[in-house]
Amino acid sequence: MTLASSRLNADLHCHSAVSDGTLQPESLAARAKANGVELWALTDHDELGGQERAMAAALDLGLPYLTGTEISVTFLDITVHIVGLGFDAANAALNAGLAATRGGRRQRAMDMSDALAKAGIHGAYEGALKYVCNPDLISRTHFARHLVESRVCGDTQEVFRRYLVDGKPGYVPHRWATLRDAVRWITEAGGIAVIAHPGRYKLSANEEFALFSEFRAHGGEAVEVVTGSHNAGHFVKYTEMAREFDLYASRGADFHSPEESHVDLGTLPDLSASLTPVWEALKDRVHRPG
């Protein structure tokens, strides 16, 4: 099988304990390999701290690897995620941009804890910290794990629905990177920017058109079509959007944890053969086993 194939089992979106996943990069590499993944990228939120370990583990297993991250962006007052793939992980501007983006997370977490306390849930910051491996990267997911463990909710989905999304008691608005900066940091480091799971954003058709148009204007070149966050209707819709906006297509489970994630690494359907996979444009950026 060649890299050009839309049938390559590429999984280019997942999280380790370096952000809000529960597995270490080495375990994820082994899981990807065991599940038949043929090209892999670890895409921790706003963070490159797991890249060297992920790449070393992948190459040891004979698994080709692309560098990755998932940048938190504020667009039209909502949070949008932009995945970066195939960049130089040592790029100074990218590293500085990611450090600035994750910089406000600790204060935000303390504010979330105060907000939850007003709703009668006390000690959530300390509780969430028990699940945090990287002190720079405390996320809503860590709060969700704590609220499940302390039996406030039955599962993490319920925590988000009842407490952690806009309009709910533990939600604290936050300003992340701009779309323009995120796309630039990735592309100027030699990578390709990808709109992550567009089906998840609560945007009107006009707002979604603005997201795709502005993303393209800033130099973004790809969109996730097949992801664990999309249903079959989204696969069809974003196949059409990728073609309309002349974007490469990406595929990735967005795997976080064996206990929480419904879609495992390497188990999604293939991209439509009518699309050009993003890995065709990244051939020269793939790290291959020696």
Closest CB to Mn ion among residues 178, 274: 178
Q: Which does 230 bind (CB under 5 to 8 A by kind): Mn ion, ligand AMP, none?
A: none
Q: Report 93-152 residues binding Mn ion (CB under 5 A).
A: none
Angle at which helix 25-34 crosses helix 51-60, to 10 degrees, equals 40
Least distance (Å) between residue 172 CB and ligand AMP: 9
In DSSP notation, 43-69 reads --BT--TTHHHHHHHHHHTT--B--EE
Q: Report 15-44 residues binding Mn ion (CB under 5 A).
A: 20
| Separation of alpha carbons 19 and 8, rounded Å | 27
User: Applying CB under 6 A, does 213 fall inside the site for ligand AMP?
Assistant: no
Closest CB to Mn ion among residues 38, 46: 46
CB 226 within 8 A of CB 270: yes
221, 248, 256, 265: which one binds ligand AMP (CB under 6 A): 256
Q: Which does 160 bind (CB under 5 to 8 A by kind): ligand AMP, Mn ion, none?
A: ligand AMP
Adjacent-strand bridge partners of 78: 75
Is the Cα dihedral 7, 9, 10, 15 positive or negative? positive
| Separation of alpha carbons 251 and 268, rounded Å | 8
Cα-Cα-Cα-Cα torsion 193, 71, 264, 38, nearest 10 degrees, comes to: 40
Q: Report 68-87 residues binding ligand AMP (CB under 6 A).
A: 72
Given the rule CB under 6 A, which of 92-100, 134-142, 185-193, 237-245 is the region that contacts ligand AMP? 134-142
Instruction: Count interface residues toward ligand AMP (CB under 6 A).
Output: 10
Closest CB to ligand AMP among residues 60, 260: 260
User: Applying CB under 6 A, does 221 fall inside the site for ligand AMP?
Assistant: no
Given the rule CB under 6 A, which of 133-141, 214-222, 230-238, 261-269 is the region that contacts ligand AMP? 133-141
| Separation of alpha carbons 32 and 15, rounded Å | 12
9, 139, 239, 261: which one binds ligand AMP (CB under 6 A): 139
User: Applying CB under 6 A, does 13 fall inside the site for ligand AMP?
Assistant: no
Q: For residue 134, give the DSSP letter.
A: S
Work out the angle at residue 246's Cα, subtended by the Cα atoms of residues 287 and 214, and round it to the nearest 5 degrees: 95
CB 194 within 8 A of CB 250: yes
Given the rule CB under 6 A, which of 49-57, 139-147, 201-209, 214-222 is the region that contacts ligand AMP? 139-147
Q: Which residue is nearest to ligand AMP (CB)?
A: 139
31, 33, 81, 142: which one binds Mn ion (CB under 5 A): 81
Least distance (Å) between residue 223 CB and ligand AMP: 17
Hey, what are 221's tokens?
Answer: 């070149």
CB 154 within 8 A of CB 169: no
Least distance (Å) between residue 59 CB and ligand AMP: 27
Cα separations (Å) of 62 from 38, 233, 254, 289? 9, 35, 22, 5
Least distance (Å) between residue 284 CB and ligand AMP: 29
Residues that bind ligand AMP (CB under 6 A): 20, 45, 72, 139-141, 156-157, 160, 256
